[in-house]
A = this chain, B = another copy of it.
Amino acid sequence: MTATESAKPTTAQTNGQTNGQSNGTHQIGRSVTRIDALEKVTGRAQYAADLFLPGMCYGVFKRSPHAHARIVSIDTSEAEKMPGVVAVITAMTLSKDMASVVEEEMHATRKVVSLFPNIGEKVKYEGAKVAAVAAVSREIAFEASERIKVEYEVLPPVTDVREAIKEGASQINEDSQPADALPDGPFAGHPIYNVAGQNHRAEGDVEAGFKAADRIFEDTYVIPRAHQTYIEPQTTVADCAPDGKVNVWTSTQGHFATRSNLANSLRIPASRINVHGMTIGGGFGAKFGGIVDTYCVLLAMKAHRPVKIVYTRAEEFLDARPAPGAVITVKTGVKNDGTIVARQAWALWDTGSGSGGCYATSRVKGVYKIEHFKLDAYDVNTNKPAPGAYRAPGAPQATFAGEAQINRIAHELRIDPVELRLRNMREGEQIAFKETLSAVAERAGWAQRTKGAHEGWGVAVGEWTNGAGPAGALVSVHEDGKARVFYGLMDITGTDTAMAQIAAEVLGIKYEDVTVSRGDTDSAPFGTASGGSVVTFSYGNAVKRAAEDARDRILELAAEHLEASVEDLEVSDGKVTVKGNPEASVTLAQLGQMSLRSRNGPIVGRGSFSSEPSATTIAAQIARVKLDPETGQLRLLGAYGSLDVGKSINPMACEGQMEGGLVQGFSWGMMEQMQWREDGRNWNPGLLDYRVPTSLDFPDLETVMVEQPTKNGPFGVKGIGEPPIAPGIAVISSAIADATGVWINEAPFTPERVLAAIKSKAS
């Protein structure tokens, strides 16, 4: 098996390729039915909420109605008296509970207690958890939570990062110190308040770069916070055994990560925790634990009964970990021929009561050769929930700023925006930026594009380099000649299917003859969480190595049986054959049986992987839009995406990633935004008011894969889950500008904003 030698576009089409039986040749690069398809469409897949344990109770939270307030008192006595209530916890009860448990470890106690605000401490966003209740029914638990009396001293909230950084704004984290004033940029000259993190970077000399430029552009882009809107809400069931063993069944992207989080936040030894990763109904970065699981375990410990917590949709919007918003100013100096010589960015990331976002500002630089680059970025506290990861964290926001401005520059320089990019893109081994952009341009008919009235075309690219993480896998071959893959992979995107294909490819058997099992954290070898596009790259290597290890053992057994040397054997079609002598063969089933009687026992291949660098990939996308001049409504006439996948294991799944990411990126530009009122309350905590697209909002998507292998990926695989979300906002803004002549720099581009743009141009 060799990886594709050079980058070449491939159409990801599933018609006529799916549902086909294996043909005995390659098992990778073939669109196969997902291994979990039937259990999902028939409703048999077990999600965390499907689990009912004997004696199980239900946990709910008491939440702050205020975005910013100090706790004066909490009275749980009425709640505790209610029949059916089995546990009530607050910071105070935890102090008591924990004191008796780990009296000697005050640090541990403080850490656990800090899961809730104590008297005198603050709630920092609407919906912040103040207490938790478990009861024999959800209804009783809710009623009990309402009987908890909390007295607040309400404080003025701040919701806009541009206000929050000013002197005199409410200080959200009281021990945070203002950051030093910057010498340049949009918020220069004053200390910056409510700073929760910062990131600074300089390459070359931007001042010199700007001086060498023919023209300089400076724009400010505003991106709202967006919710990951996974269909399955945050859900956990926890149970604590009398011996102290904690079992947790949860919707998570990484059950080992969940175990670590629980161990750290509750000060329980990791070996006393067993996390069962259930089938997940979407995560997109928001399911690494901490939102409900920690509390669920505490309630189960206190109640001495299993406890289930399932978030409501409103809770998802009030108190989960949505993506941060951002206000990003970008200044770019270019030559008249379009060469980018210098770029500088200043960014305020809206990280609510938490932090994490500003590190992504460097993506403003994009995939271009830019000699001089500088950024100053800050995480800024506001009275909103803390941020979490959302598919390519920070990339859609920073890419909007970087790529939208590239389009404006192209427009101003009267250079085709595809051509401008091709002139500036980096080149190198293992990357295919230009080929990927050219592929989507060709697919969309960019060079020949035409447009009618109120129509426009937009283009942008987004980049990502997949991460890598530790992964272990086993590939066993049993006495029926079929293979079983066992590991600790949480499948969020169809990766179990890809892993089965990889194992099948190596073992020369059909994909359908591979069974894939996920172990809980007590049984599976350690595996990294599914995020950062690490999975197919990292687990793919582990599974490939495990299958190769099993194949070595198969060949060893076959060599003995066939009285041939290993070098003279080949494995395919479920059997080992002496090369050039098809009569001399032995099936994997026979070898599986022989292994049981052999000195070295059953065939168990093992593969392990830690971390090796991958190569950068890009997603390139094009949209064709039509605007309604009366209403400002945007309609997508066409949507095209390309992506360098390195090597496609399952083209249908790659297509799914390209489509899903494109839709999420476009819709952040078209409609998605979390909104808060001036009093800090969430305006649209539900899927009626927080708009996500339906199939009616999108035309048929057209996607094209490019395969430029990376040398450390299994068969050349690059991680591809994230890049397709990155370009979307910029694509849409550019298409609107192409249609209207107006550059709208604040997302999403709602009918109101589009209409205002149309009118501003008309006036």
A residues near B, CB below 8 A? 38-39, 42, 44, 241-243, 260, 263, 269-271, 274, 469-472, 474, 476, 478-480, 482, 484, 486, 513, 515, 517-520, 522-528, 542, 595-602, 604, 606, 608-612
Contact = CB atoms under 8 A, between A and B. Distances in A.
Given A270-B478, A608-B604, A610-B598, A241 B471 contact: no
Contacts of A270: 478-480, 482
A523 B482 contact: no
9 contacts: A42-B241, A270-B478, A270-B480, A470-B596, A526-B604, A528-B596, A542-B601, A596-B610, A599-B611
A606 B606 contact: yes
A517 B519 contact: yes
A704 to B, nearest CB: 32
A44 B242 contact: yes
A526 B44 contact: no
B596 A601 contact: no
Given A470-B601, A486-B522, A600-B610, 11 more contacts: A263-B480, A470-B595, A472-B604, A476-B526, A515-B522, A517-B523, A519-B519, A523-B523, A526-B602, A599-B610, A601-B608
A608 B549 CA distance: 14
B598 A525 contact: no
A611 B526 CA distance: 30
A196 B241 CA distance: 51
Given A44-B241, A270-B482, A482-B270, A520 B520 contact: no
A574 to B, nearest CB: 12
Nearest to A239: B44
Ranked 8 nearest A-B pairs via Cβ: A601-B608, A517-B523, A271-B482, A526-B602, A470-B596, A38-B243, A270-B480, A601-B610
Contacts of A520: 517
Contacts of A609: 601
A521 B479 CA distance: 12
A470 B604 contact: no
Contacts of A476: 472, 525-526
Given A484-B522, A526-B596, A515 B610 contact: no
Contact of A470 (B274, B542, B602): B602
Given A525-B474, A606-B606, A479 B601 contact: no
A525 B271 contact: no
Given A486-B523, A519-B517, A472 B271 contact: no
Contacts of A263: 480
A450 to B, nearest CB: 48
A600 B608 contact: yes
B243 A39 contact: yes
Contacts of A519: 486, 517, 519, 523
A566 to B, nearest CB: 19
A341 B565 CA distance: 53
A600 B606 CA distance: 11
A598 B474 CA distance: 19
A402 to B, nearest CB: 31
A606 to B, nearest CB: 5
Given A478-B526, A484-B522, A610-B597, A271 B515 contact: yes
Nearest to A244: B38
Nearest to A50: B54
Residue with the highest number of chain B CB atoms closer than 10 Å, among A241, A243, A513: A243
Contact of A242 (B38, B269, B604): B38
A271 B470 contact: no
A629 B517 CA distance: 65
A597 B609 CA distance: 9
Residue with the highest number of chain B CB atoms closer than 10 Å, among A39, A542, A604: A604
A538 to B, nearest CB: 9
Nearest to A612: B599
A627 B171 CA distance: 91
A524 B596 CA distance: 14
A88 to B, nearest CB: 25
A524 B597 CA distance: 18
A479 B609 CA distance: 15
A598 B274 CA distance: 24
Nearest to A545: B601
A691 to B, nearest CB: 35
A479 B597 contact: no
Contacts of A604: 472, 474, 525-526, 606, 608
A609 B608 CA distance: 21
A241 B35 CA distance: 13
Contacts of A527: 602
Given A470-B601, A479-B270, A601-B608, A242 B517 contact: no
A482 B269 contact: yes
A602 B607 CA distance: 10
A612 B513 CA distance: 31
Contacts of A608: 600-602, 604
A38 B241 contact: yes
A470 B597 contact: yes
Contact of A523 (B471, B484, B528): B484
A610 to B, nearest CB: 4
Contacts of A42: 241-242
Nearest to A513: B271
A415 B612 CA distance: 77
A469 B597 CA distance: 8
B517 A602 contact: no
Contacts of A478: 270-271, 526
A604 B524 CA distance: 9
Nearest to A538: B601
Contacts of A525: 474, 476, 602, 604
Contacts of A482: 269-271
Contacts of A524: 486
Contacts of A486: 519, 522-524
A604 B601 CA distance: 18
Nearest to A247: B44
Contacts of A599: 610-612
Nearest to A270: B480
Nearest to A520: B517
Nearest to A602: B526
Contacts of A596: 469-470, 526, 528, 610
A1 to B, nearest CB: 22
Contacts of A518: 523
Contacts of A598: 610
